[in-house]
Chains A and B, each alone.
Chain A
Amino acid sequence: MTATATSARSDLSELGRSEIALRTFLHGLPGVDQVGAEQRAAQLGTRSIKTTAKAQAIDLAIRMVDLTTLEGADTPGKVRALAAKALRPDPADPSCPHVGAVCVYPAMVPYVAEVLRGSGVHLASVATAFPSGQAPLEIKLADTRAAVEAGADEIDMVINRGAFLTGRYGEVYDEIVATKEACRGTDAGRQGRPRAHLKVILETGELATYDNVRRASWLAMLAGADFIKTSTGKVPVAATLPVTLVMLEAVRDFRAATGRQVGVKPAGGIKTTKDAIKYLVMVNETVGVDWLDPDWFRFGASSLLNDLLMQRTKLTTGVYPGPDYFTLD
């Protein structure tokens, strides 16, 4: 992309210092061709992935799942069960890989941490007054610190959509920077472990336009996001293929401009293996194999995992299994 390729690396790091520079940069990003993006996403969704390629895609998708429960009714017992499922999604088949991470509310982090310790499955916690983000900054930061202290190594923060849509980009930028700092945790809490990864939720369903999605993606990456995530799953419009395409293009262009790679996580509304494979095809065609890894691409989902397991069982045994044979949570 020409506009960003011409920006020198030093310029980008200076942008956060002034609201005007940030606005000039974000509004200088080229507009998204809406029809083109939707058509491209639809076209990539028609690829047929079968047999061994499908088996490989299913295992990769399982490794990329952020197994999520974000309900008011979550209990320690429920999240422990979920964490056990994350470690061994299909108890009947030891060759089935574990998922990428478990994603819960901060209050549930300690219970999940007990189960996941040392397993290689990451522990993500939503924070910053999820899902609305409508709380004073101090509370959002305290929320983040608490989650990190409790053992979360990934933080899913929400951006301040109110500020973003009003055009107060500097405020959004500063909040992300401050949350990133809070992810570092205290030394006592982290005991020498690296800081928690920061995933920034753009809540694309509330951003209204693809241009806004592109701006919010850049804003989050400039402020230091390790991952950009589409949605909270709490508003009617969640992850869609075209929105994810716009975000993938943003991370691709950001790496070209700065050399830093940022991950992408579509979340909400991805329920079937077919959907998941469409996303994987799009990742491969848009940003390439560098992102086809659980470290750089994740699915925020709860019901997706069971469908992946059912398709996996169909491939390994030859008969269609039913939902009765897999746990609900």
Chain B
Amino acid sequence: MSERVAVRKTYKLFIGGKFPRSESGRSYLVQDSNVSLASRKDARDAVVAARAAVQGWAGATAYNRGQILYRVAEMLEGRREQFVALGVPADEVDAATDRWVWYAGWSDKLPQVYGGANPVAGPYFNLSTPEPTGVVAVVAPEAPALLGLVSVIAPAMVTGNTVVVAASPSAPLAAVTLAEVLATSDLPGGVVNILTGHLTETVPTLASHLDVNAIDLTGVTDADLAAELEVGAAQNLKRVLRPAPADHDWFADPGITRMTTLLETKTVWHPKGV
């Protein structure tokens, strides 16, 4: 019997729940694999997909979103060996799985912690509640490839935002494999969209895009580029998360700032009866 021919994998983008090649047809060689090289039009398509998903995802109950994030953790656990084979340290995979579970728990608790009744001088109930801001563009940190990516995606989406993320250009395989996890986790298409390739091609488009409501610059290491992106973001007053310091410890307790920065607060005044 002849020797079996190996099935080689094509690493593609993740847009609107599908795995398309780059619109430009380009790819680049990284980690011994050919990976799609996203263009600015792929970024535009991803924003369209993310915008279309906002209504359904933000409208889902917090309980339902939490269940889906937990499901992502389950699927990631099942693919642990696959990530290890890609070169992700085992403890990083475990930390990433735990992070999904941690954020899943926050889905119906954040509004209680971060919103609530305000004491006002008048005959009113005054209630504040956090609401998702809409489409969030995210630049994932260069490393750690998996834990870093999960640590920026999960807090943005758990509250009801949809996400377009530019994955680590030097280690995109973990990101594309995470897309396969997301695609099998009951997550509606378009809630998370993953672009691989050079940051300078896709991120400026996302920063200046008027249909993007917030941008997380965590993975931007070049200070000049970060400044330029903030200028682009200022055009429609996007919420901005500044780049993370180089020595940031991704294994540490993340806190809730990543979630709260990407929220709007809605306050309601309701007249009290006598």
Contacts and interface: CB of A to CB of B under 8 A. Distances in A.
Interface string A308-329: 0000000000111111110000
Contacts of B51: 322-323
Contacts of A321: 210-211
Nearest to A324: B211
Of the listed residues A318, A321, A322, the one surrounded by the most CB atoms of chain B closer than 10 A to its CB is A322
Contacts of B209: 319-320, 322
B175 interface: no
A323 B208 contact: no
Interface in A289-321: 318-321
Interface residues of A, number: 8
A319 B210 CA distance: 7
B146 interface: no
B237 to A, nearest CB: 12
Contacts of B208: 318-320
Of the listed residues B211, B232, B235, the one surrounded by the most CB atoms of chain A closer than 10 A to its CB is B211
Interface residues of B, number: 11
A320 B47 contact: yes
B80 interface: no
A90 to B, nearest CB: 14
B55 to A, nearest CB: 12
A283 B217 CA distance: 46
Nearest to B204: A319
B3 to A, nearest CB: 40
A320 B211 contact: yes
B235 A323 contact: no
Contacts of B47: 320
B44 interface: yes
Contacts of A323: 51, 211
A323 B134 CA distance: 13
A324 B135 CA distance: 13
B183 to A, nearest CB: 26
A110 to B, nearest CB: 37
A310 to B, nearest CB: 9
Interface in A246-286: none
B185 interface: no
Contacts of A318: 208
Interface in B206-223: 208-212
Contacts of A322: 51, 209-212
Nearest to A320: B209
A321 B47 CA distance: 11
B264 to A, nearest CB: 14
B62 to A, nearest CB: 25
Nearest to B208: A319
B205 interface: yes
Interface string B191-208: 000000000000001001
Interface in B228-256: 232, 235
A320 B212 CA distance: 10
Nearest to B43: A320
Nearest to B235: A319
A152 to B, nearest CB: 36
Contacts of A320: 44, 47, 205, 208-211
Nearest to B211: A322
A308 to B, nearest CB: 15
Nearest to B205: A320
Nearest to A322: B211
Contacts of A324: 210-211
6 contacts: A319-B210, A320-B47, A321-B210, A322-B210, A322-B212, A324-B211
Interface of A: 318-325
Given A322-B211, A324-B210, A324-B211, 15 more contacts: A319-B209, A319-B210, A319-B232, A319-B235, A320-B47, A320-B209, A320-B211, A321-B210, A321-B211, A322-B209, A322-B210, A322-B212, A323-B51, A323-B211, A325-B210
Interface of B: 44, 47, 51, 205, 208-212, 232, 235
**In the A-B complex, the 6 residue pairs with the closest CB atoms:** A322-B211, A319-B208, A320-B209, A321-B210, A322-B210, A320-B44
